[in-house]
Amino acid sequence: MARAPNGEVFPLSATDTETPVAVDETRNAIVARFSAALGDAVVDSLVKPGDDVWIRVRTDAWRAVGDVARELGFVYFDFLSAIDWMPSPYGRGEDDPTEPAPERDMTVRQGYAGGETRMQVLARVVDPTTTIGVNLKADVADDSPVIDSWVTVFAGANWHEREAWEMFGIRFAGHPDLRNMYLPTDFEGHPLRKDFPLLARIVKPWPGIVDVEPLPGGGSDDEAGE
């Protein structure tokens, strides 16, 4: 619900008033099937009814998870990537370089299905008969991020793992050819890590610092416009 400036309350859309789907039998069954096949390798899971499934697995079971997913009918490989959960020390690159650096909350908070490490590998596989997909996550250690490669499970993981390696510096054990995908071979650093600065905002300060216009509507962010 949102509140208009005159105090009138209105629903943001039609979906606000509908009762949400409380239980999603199909997606709960998917989690149950993964848990039955993998045992304690499934660390955590989350089902958003009518939306999606997230399953977090133990890092050492990653390849077994891929095999199990294929056996359970999730034979379509959608993508593989990673998420760096550390908040960026540079914020949104809009700091004034003449001012002292602002204090930032640097606590690492993981998303759905939790996590213990700063970086997580994220992959999505889909069952082509039902077109329901599963988001699989696994923690990778902060100091030496290594995880098993999926190349033997899904041949298409090859390029995705090369991309995750160059962008996040996650090593994939058993990958036959872990070269850079886009960047030059001698490029240093892993650009999608949050502590890698966006250089365009470092070499030239964000022009928005000097002419800050007041935001429309003044005060609170929740205020509804037209």
Binding site for other proteins (CB under 8 A): 2, 10, 12-16, 51-52, 54, 75-79, 81, 83-84, 87-88, 92-94, 109, 111-112, 122, 124, 128, 131, 133, 135, 154-156, 158-160, 167, 180-183, 191-192, 198, 201, 215-217, 221-226
**Of the two residues 39 and 91, which places its CB atom closer to other proteins in the complex?**
91
Q: Please give the distance of CA 34 from its chain centroid, rounded to a whole number.
A: 21
Q: How far is the CB of 206 from other proteins (least distance, A)?
A: 9
**Of the two residues 40 and 219, which places its CB atom closer to other proteins in the complex?**
219
**Of the two residues 39 and 182, which places its CB atom closer to other proteins in the complex?**
182
- Would you say 151 and 174 are in contact if contact means Cβ atoms under 8 Å apart? yes
Q: Is 158 helix (H, G, I), strand (E, B) or coil?
A: helix
- Would you say 45 and 54 are in contact if contact means Cβ atoms under 8 Å apart? yes
Identify any residues that bridge with 123 across adjacent strands, giving them in sequence order. Answer: 80, 136
Question: Residues with Cβ < 8 Å from 8, sequence gap 6 or more?
Answer: none
**Of the two residues 36 and 179, which places its CB atom closer to other proteins in the complex?**
179
Q: How far is the CB of 39 from other proteins (least distance, A)?
A: 26
Residue that has been written with the tokens 């994220």 in this structure = 122
